[in-house]
């Protein structure tokens, strides 16, 4: 089966909705909120009463322009709002104010993925489906909460440039980090302030056409989206391999069962009958607005990863890892800043490797919340680099630091972990190990070099890990005449 399915490649495009973290809604002065009592932030505008007039939120436009700048898009000199008509209780106007043929921004890119467009629109109300099963299917009535209705959104649409679930996850995380760095959204997928849909199709390897696509809706993490996309690619390949056709539909991926379900949805008939929104005048960002957006851009994750790699010599993988999460990047830079003798590459390995791992083991996530300060981690890294403590000892020191915030110097002193740098002392221990393990020593002399491991182990045991493994091996080999 894999012989046939390997002849196909996946083509994936993403649509990402980003809720902007303004104070108020897109077209009215109601506050944004999450988790409040239902329907406490509503007014005639966001409830869609007749005769009201929407007025766009200036800050939402500014945030949209910042996203456009970060994605290196062309900003339309004059864009207009449209009504996207559909009938569903989450939008009592029976249309969503969105943008259609002239979006705010287009033709951008983030990393290797091209951005088709980015436009402004408003979020819909939240539906709570009640009834027998609690799920959408089979419910009798629905409750509608308009707190979310009218929340400003930027919808970002990529070109179909992605080819795997893993790439979707990685790129999605980069986009989320980028938007987060701009400070224009909370980008919390579980709370829905960042939502990602994936359009998936397959085609014969090497062809340039596009197959029939399916749309995967609204996964609440990029890991689930990755798994869902992989499952859907596999499903499509199997369909085609067995001579069937992919049907255009909207799918839901259930991460607990790993199954894909077809969704009946309000978009069942894609017939939105767009028309220009007569209540809103065109949006023509002037030079001042564009300059302000450009000037507001901080160093973004993709640029930071590039700088870490090219200027600091950090491997690409670690550079990306450090750059994507701003709190990790900040911690790393503070470690570097704490002691200029620290090699960036070494510091990067400690931060993304041992330190991140130890935090996870102890159930922590954010380095900024850790009891370990960048300065004390820098201190530990310096001690390792200066051969004052072995790598192995340093790991146990770090465990203690994460647990109770102790100073590494103090732990090393208290536990006597300072590496034996006196060659004379180490030589005495090496000699004793050879004497105490005469048989093994004989085997090594006889050509079984692997057996030297037992002698190294004996020395490390005697020194309680305070010796440098490389130095021990060197002394042993020398003493055994190798």
Closer Cβ to another protein, 152 or 378, answer by number: 152
Taking the complex as a whole, the smallest distance from the CB of residue 298 to another protein amounts, in Å, to 20
Closer Cβ to another protein, 127 or 241, answer by number: 127
Closer Cβ to another protein, 139 or 415, answer by number: 139
Which contacts of 205-208 are long-range, i.e. CB under 8 A and separated by 24 or more positions? 205/7, 205/8, 205/9
The two three-digit tokens of residue 178, written as one number: 């980028």
Taking the complex as a whole, the smallest distance from the CB of residue 148 to another protein amounts, in Å, to 12
Distance of alpha carbon 276 from its chain centroid, rounded?
Answer: 36
Taking the complex as a whole, the smallest distance from the CB of residue 246 to another protein amounts, in Å, to 25
The torsion angles phi and psi of 106, rounded to 5 degrees, stand at -155, 170
Quote the CA–CA distance of 205 and 9 in Å, as a whole number.
Answer: 5
Quote the CA–CA distance of 12 and 141 in Å, as a whole number.
Answer: 36
Taking the complex as a whole, the smallest distance from the CB of residue 43 to another protein amounts, in Å, to 5
Taking the complex as a whole, the smallest distance from the CB of residue 131 to another protein amounts, in Å, to 7
87, exposed or middle or buried, with CB in 10 Å at 0-12, 13-18, 19+?
exposed
Closer Cβ to another protein, 262 or 478, answer by number: 262
Taking the complex as a whole, the smallest distance from the CB of residue 282 to another protein amounts, in Å, to 5
Which contacts of 188-195 are long-range, i.e. CB under 8 A and separated by 24 or more positions? 189/219, 189/220, 189/221, 189/222, 190/220, 190/221, 191/34, 192/19, 192/220, 193/18, 193/19, 193/21, 193/34, 194/16, 194/17, 194/18, 194/19, 195/16, 195/17
- Report in angstroms the alpha-carbon separations of 415 from 376, 382, 386, 389: 17, 18, 18, 11
Closer Cβ to another protein, 28 or 456, answer by number: 28
DSSP string, 259-297: EEEE---GGGS-----EE-TTS--B---HHHHHHHHHT-
Quote the CA–CA distance of 133 and 137 in Å, as a whole number.
Answer: 8
Helix or strand holding residue 300 (H, E): none
Give contact residues for another protein (rule: CB under 8 A).
22-24, 28-31, 37-44, 47, 49, 55-61, 78, 80, 85-89, 94, 127-129, 131, 136-137, 139-146, 264, 266, 269, 271, 273, 276-278, 280-286
Taking the complex as a whole, the smallest distance from the CB of residue 50 to another protein amounts, in Å, to 11
Identify whether the C-beta of residue 302 lies closer than 8 Å to the C-beta of residue 174.
yes
Closer Cβ to another protein, 87 or 369, answer by number: 87
Taking the complex as a whole, the smallest distance from the CB of residue 231 to another protein amounts, in Å, to 25
Taking the complex as a whole, the smallest distance from the CB of residue 61 to another protein amounts, in Å, to 6
Closer Cβ to another protein, 286 or 422, answer by number: 286
Closer Cβ to another protein, 88 or 409, answer by number: 88
Closer Cβ to another protein, 146 or 332, answer by number: 146
């Amino acid at each position: 089966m894999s012989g046939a399915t390997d002849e196909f490649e996946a083509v994936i495009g993403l649509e990402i909705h980003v809720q902007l973290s303004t104070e108020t809604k897109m077209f009215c002065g109601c506050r944004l909120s999450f988790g409040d009592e239902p329907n406490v932030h509503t007014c005639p505008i966001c409830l869609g009463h007749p005769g009201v007039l929407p007025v766009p939120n200036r800050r939402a436009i500014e945030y949209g322009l910042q996203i456009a700048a970060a994605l290196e898009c062309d900003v339309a000199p004059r864009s207009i709002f449209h009504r996207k008509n559909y009938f569903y209780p989450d939008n009592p106007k029976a249309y969503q104010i969105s943008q259609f043929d002239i979006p705010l921004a287009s033709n951008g890119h983030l990393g290797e993925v091209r951005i088709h467009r980015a436009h402004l629109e408003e979020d819909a109300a939240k539906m709570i489906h009640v009834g027998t099963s609690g799920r959408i299917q089979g419910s009798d009535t629905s409750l509608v909460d308009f707190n979310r209705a009218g929340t400003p959104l930027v919808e970002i649409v990529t070109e179909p440039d992605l080819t795997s679930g893993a790439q979707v996850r990685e790129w999605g995380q980069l986009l989320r980090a980028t938007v987060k760095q701009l400070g224009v959204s909370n980008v919390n997928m579980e709370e829905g302030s960042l939502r990602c849909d994936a359009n998936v199709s397959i085609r014969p390897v090497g062809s340039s056409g596009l197959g029939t696509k399916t749309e995967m809706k609204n996964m609440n993490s990029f890991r689930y989206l990755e798994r869902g996309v992989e499952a859907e690619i596999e499903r499509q390949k199997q369909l085609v391999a067995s001579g069937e056709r992919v049907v255009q539909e909207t799918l839901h991926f259930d991460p607990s069962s790993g199954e894909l379900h077809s969704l009946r949805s309000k978009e069942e008939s894609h017939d939105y009958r767009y028309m220009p929104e007569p209540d809103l005048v065109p949006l023509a960002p002037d030079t001042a607005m564009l300059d302000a957006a450009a000037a507001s851009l901080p160093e973004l994750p993709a640029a930071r990863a590039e700088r870490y790699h090219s200027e600091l010599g950090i491997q690409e993988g670690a550079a990306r890892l450090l750059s994507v999460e701003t709190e990790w990047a900040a911690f790393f830079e503070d470690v570097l800043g704490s002691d200029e003798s620290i090699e960036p590459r070494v510091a990067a390995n400690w931060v993304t490797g041992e330190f991140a791992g130890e935090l996870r083991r102890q159930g922590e996530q954010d380095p900024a919340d850790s009891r370990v300060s960048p300065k004390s981690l820098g201190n530990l890294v310096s001690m390792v680099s200066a051969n004052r403590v072995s790598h192995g000892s340093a790991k146990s020191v770090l465990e203690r630091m994460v647990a109770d915030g102790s100073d590494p110097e103090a732990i090393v002193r208290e536990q006597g972990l300072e590496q034996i740098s006196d060659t004379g002392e180490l030589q005495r221990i090496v000699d004793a190990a050879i004497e105490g393990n005469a048989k093994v020593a004989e085997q090594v002399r006889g050509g079984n070099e692997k057996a030297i491991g037992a002698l190294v182990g004996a020395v490390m045991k005697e020194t309680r890990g305070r010796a440098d493994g490389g130095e021990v091996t060197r002394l042993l080999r020398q003493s055994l005449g190798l």
